[in-house]
């Protein structure tokens, strides 16, 4: 059931994205002849007055079809309601509307979580928790004897108090001290001890000890005082998730070789979503919001076959007063589409092969 819930969330996000394009076109009176969820063979369809609505076999995408691209269309090429005959700004609204729809939807998912599930707070305790040692036996933390569940109370007598800033302070201290011996005060159960750890030099020039960090405290949920608090909390979470997503893309670009190994495909995303749903159905709100933000940011990148690539073509047209030749645009878009589909197939095959890893990482 949790797998179906995760797949349903991804399907809803795709529908929201395509509805953004569809709604922006329709509101401007631009012709749309096809609205499809998924690719491949048609499972069900409905022929509306001007548009064919279809559900297809592979629900890993979707598209909004316009008669501009339909060789069988009997609409005159100079029809003012064709997308290509509209001003650059009108076309930009249609192309960017999917991204905007995903961002708006992510925000309202977070507001809905606050109203329906409750606002998640942390009852902070002193120190910073180590939920996992990342590289067993080879990391500085592992060599020093740190274990999962340890709490770092202080470094060189710099105490980490019971507040939300302690984790970032600890991370900064470690990153600013590569190859320098640091005296860690660690709590394990009821025992407290000191241990010297020397952060190694990471690829980004910053120190690291090979651990995951998490706030030390108990998660609690409470109802919002009023609807305005729900909107405020939703906005704060939306800002935080957007910043984290942008930072993730920044790290992917700056450290591509290492970060590319962590890029997840549809299978991995569903596996993670299913685990979150199994633990707490309310987590699906956060899962959906985070994936929706990621989907928006990925689509706005200026890459062929993505919304950002089409916006780049429009920008060129707006600057120079005329579009690139159709054959050149089609060649770039087709090449981008092949590469995108190839990446998608690779990620699906890789993630399927790694399902045993997810089952081990998320044991029953």
**So which residues are the catalytic ones?**
18
| DSSP-derived pairing of the beta strands 158-159 and 151-155 | antiparallel
> Do 158 and 98 meet the contact criterion of CB atoms below 8 Å apart?
no
> Do 329 and 360 meet the contact criterion of CB atoms below 8 Å apart?
no
Could you tell me the CA-to-CA distances from 36 to 10, 15, 85 in Å, in that order? Answer: 15, 9, 23
| DSSP-derived pairing of the beta strands 200-201 and 207-208 | antiparallel
Q: Which of 19, 54, 20, 18 is nearest to 34 (CA)?
A: 54
Token couple for 290: 């985070």
DSSP H helices, the chain, are: 2-27, 88-116, 140-143, 166-175, 227-254, 256-259, 266-279, 283-300, 307-320, 326-353, 355-361
DSSP 325: P
Residue 130 neighbours by CB under 8 Å, 6+ apart = 141, 146, 147, 148, 149, 150, 151, 152, 211, 212, 213, 214
| Distance separating alpha carbons of residues 121 and 264, to the nearest angstrom | 28
Residue 168 neighbours by CB under 8 Å, 6+ apart = none
| Distance separating alpha carbons of residues 134 and 148, to the nearest angstrom | 10
Residue 56 neighbours by CB under 8 Å, 6+ apart = 36, 37, 38, 39, 40, 41, 42, 43
């Amino acid at each position: 059931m949790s797998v179906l819930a995760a797949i349903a969330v991804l399907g809803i996000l795709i529908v929201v994205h395509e509805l953004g394009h569809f709604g922006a076109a329709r509101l401007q009176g631009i012709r749309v002849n096809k609205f499809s969820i998924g690719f491949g063979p048609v499972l069900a369809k409905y022929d509306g007055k001007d548009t064919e609505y279809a559900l297809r076999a592979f629900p890993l995408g979707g598209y909004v079809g316009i008669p501009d691209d339909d060789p069988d269309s009997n609409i005159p090429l100079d029809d003012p309601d064709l997308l290509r005959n509209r001003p650059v700004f009108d076309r930009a609204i249609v192309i960017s509307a999917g991204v905007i729809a995903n961002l708006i939807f992510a925000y309202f998912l977070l507001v809905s979580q606050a109203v329906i599930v409750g606002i998640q707070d942390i009852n902070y305790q002193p120190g910073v928790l180590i939920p996992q040692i990342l590289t067993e036996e080879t990391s500085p933390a592992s060599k020093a004897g740190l274990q999962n569940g340890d709490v770092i109370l202080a470094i060189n007598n710099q105490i980490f108090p019971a507040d939300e800033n302690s984790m970032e302070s600890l991370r900064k201290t470690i990153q600013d001290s590569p190859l320098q011996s640091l005296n860690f005060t660690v709590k394990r159960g009821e025992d407290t001890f000191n241990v010297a750890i020397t952060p190694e030099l990471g690829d980004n020039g910053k120190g690291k000890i090979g651990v995951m960090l998490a706030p030390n405290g108990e998660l609690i949920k409470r109802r919002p005082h009023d609807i305005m608090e729900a909107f405020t909390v939703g906005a704060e979470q939306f800002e935080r998730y957007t910043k984290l997503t942008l930072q993730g893309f920044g790290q992917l670009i700056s450290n591509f070789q290492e970060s590319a190994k962590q890029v997840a495909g549809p299978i991995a995303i569903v596996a993670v979503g299913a685990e979150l749903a199994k633990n707490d159905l309310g987590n699906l709100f956060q899962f959906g919001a985070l994936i929706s933000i990621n989907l928006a940011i990925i689509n706005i990148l200026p890459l062929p076959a993505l919304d950002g690539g089409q916006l780049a073509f429009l920008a060129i047209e707006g600057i120079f007063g005329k579009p690139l030749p159709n054959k050149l645009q089609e060649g770039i878009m087709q090449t981008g589409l092949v590469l995108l589909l190839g990446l998608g197939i690779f990620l699906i095959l890789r993630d399927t092969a790694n399902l045993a890893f997810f089952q081990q990482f998320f044991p029953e």
